[in-house]
Structure 1
Amino acid sequence: MEHVKNIYCIGRNYRLHAAELGNDVPTKPMIFDKPTHALAMANGEAIELPSSRGELHYEAELVIHIARPYEAGVTLDEMIDKIALGIDFTLRDVQSELKKAGHPWLLAKGFKNSAILTSFHPFLGIDALHQTDFSLLKNGEQVQRGNLRDVIFDLEMIIAYISEHLGLDQGDIIYTGTPAGVGPVTDGDVLTLKWGEETWGQFTAKMK
């Protein structure tokens, strides 16, 4: 398991995803976090997920790994040393109830195995990210496809904002938001995370 300090996530960072859930498009980054025990590697094995707390949704995302503490003026190439793909699993029914009550999302977002992560790959610069789509396949069919070009808040803004309000250091990771197409997961579903045509991770959902 990759050593990770903090897991930060960006909510509603793609307009079409905000629209599909009936949410307003944010005017500044929406940040939430997950505990480190939420991490699970997409290494071909089955991953246990909750089946008794309402509908569970996948949200595929590009994940960046922070290489050093943030300082004003630092470049993306200095801040990011590697990238991965991930899934921010969300208990959608639980989240809806929490939102109605005005409560934090932790119970819907931070449960065990809710932060899926592939192995990391070198960060080759922002242009390389813009040239390649990432996608999620469920049982061999593409259900999500996205590109960092389409985010509302770019990596520079996300990094500066998190650093200012929460702090950033080497070993932190950031889930940068999910494109449209989120949907439910059921027992036995095979989920595959792809970077372009390359498969970076795969696993089977084991609902318990």
Structure 2
Amino acid sequence: MNEVKNIFCIGRNYAKHAVELGNEVPEAPILFTKPTHALTYAKGEDITFPADKGEIHHELEIILHIDKPVKKGDRLEDVVSDISLGIDFTLRDVQSELKKKGQPWDRAKGFPNAAVTTERFPFPGIEACRKETFSLLKNGDVAQEGTINEMMFDFQAIIDECQEVFGLGAGDLIYTGTPEGVGPIKDGDQFEFFWGSERIGSFIVSMK
């Protein structure tokens, strides 16, 4: 297993999510990054979040795991070994203020534990992914659910864009965007990740 080198993220990749936040639907992928210090794993334990930064929103995502250097023209199946599910956490109030000032989102996206991931599992192939739903349960209820068919920019387009803009190599992660249903978290919330009917990770929110 490769050490995580970079965390790249795609913003507003599901049209309904862009609309629910009152944002324009993008014509090209919106790219941003998170520091590796933000990464943590959903293993059933408490994960700590800041209690003094305003609302923190969950954004469920499929994560692509890159296992080799990527060259222009490489196919998805040749460079993605595994996938996982995760959450791109956002300090929503902080992000709103940054957007008003025209400043980067880093403060809202890169705080400790802002990039949660389940354990990785083998990439089943693009056709299998098209047939599967992924979902996030909050306190037993479905909070977010989606399929990759709803993406505006598919996995291949995302890899091509990240390779051209940043370069991609072994150990890089790509958070591929979130379906609608994002919302705030609170102390004690219990979250569970599902790939189809299979539960693949969980955690409990601890606000401090």
Give the shorter-chain TM-score range. over 0.9
Question: 1:85-132: per-residue Cα shift (whole Å, max 9, x none)?
Answer: 000000000000000000000100000000000000001210111111
In the alignment, residue 42 of structure 1 is paired with which amino acid? A
In the alignment, residue 188 of structure 1 is paired with which amino acid? G
In the alignment, residue 165 of structure 1 is paired with which amino acid? V
C-alpha displacement at 1:3, in angstroms?
Answer: 2.4
CA distance in structure 1 between the partners assigned to 2:37 and 2:56 by the alignment:
18
State the partner residue of 2:127: 127
Question: 1:135-178: per-residue Cα shift (whole Å, max 9, x none)?
Answer: 00000000100111110011111111111111100110000000
Note the 1:197-208 alignment, pairs <5 A: 197-208=197-208
Note the 1:149-164 alignment, pairs <5 A: 149-164=149-164
Note the 1:3-18 alignment, pairs <5 A: 3-18=3-18
CA distance in structure 2 between the partners assigned to 1:51 and 1:141 by the alignment:
23
TM-score by length of structure 2 reads 0.98
C-alpha displacement at 1:2, in angstroms?
Answer: 7.1
TM-score by length of structure 1 reads 0.98
Note the 1:19-30 alignment, pairs <5 A: 19-30=19-30
Q: Given the alignment of the two structures, is residue 137 of structure 1 paired with residue 144 of structure 2, yes or no?
A: no
Q: Does structure 1 conserve the Cα–Cα contact (< 8 Å) formed by 2:66 and 2:171?
A: yes
SS at match of 2:112: coil
Sequence identity, in percent? 54
CA distance in structure 2 between the partners assigned to 1:79 and 1:168 by the alignment:
10
Structure 1: 5+ residue stretches without partners: none
Note the 1:1-208 alignment, pairs <5 A: 3-208=3-208
SS at match of 2:157: helix
CA distance in structure 2 between the partners assigned to 1:93 and 1:206 by the alignment:
19
SS at match of 2:174: strand
